[in-house]
Amino acid sequence: DTGVSQDPRHKITKRGQNVTFRCDPISEHNRLYWYRQTLGQGPEFLTYFQNEAQLEKSRLLSDRFSAERPKGSFSTLEIQRTEQGDSAMYLCASSHRGPYEKLFFGSGTQLSVL
């Protein structure tokens, strides 16, 4: 499968623990996005990378969230001191050009905070 891949598919953690998710975009895509989706809602934008530069961050992204894309390839999203409200599906997407281009989504990481 040459699409966007995310790991892990599911993560169960206890409140207060740190978690990290990984996203591997389509290889020729230099733009990478993270979204979060809760039950009954559409995806909400979290952050955007162009190559290794993080160019946009949502106000939804608290200080406990950090994202990196160190070499402009894969990206990680870390949540520190998880809270029950962090429980959601975390989606990664990539695109070849700008925001008007087609976004290719991964299958997501489902996080459950107990």
Structure tokens at 93: 């997407």
What DSSP character marks residue 85?
A: G
Residue 59 binds another protein (CB under 8 A): no
The three-state DSSP-derived secondary structure of 26-42 is CCCCCEEEEEEECCCCC
- The interface region with another protein, picked from 18-26, 70-78, 79-87, 100-108 by CB under 8 A, is 100-108
Residue 3 binds another protein (CB under 8 A): yes
Residue 36 binds another protein (CB under 8 A): no
CA-CA-CA-CA dihedral for 92, 73, 69, 54, to nearest 10: -80
Q: Which of 19, 21, 48, 67 binds another protein (CB under 8 A)?
A: 48
Residues binding another protein (CB under 8 A): 3-4, 31, 33, 40-45, 48, 55-56, 58, 91, 98-100, 102-108
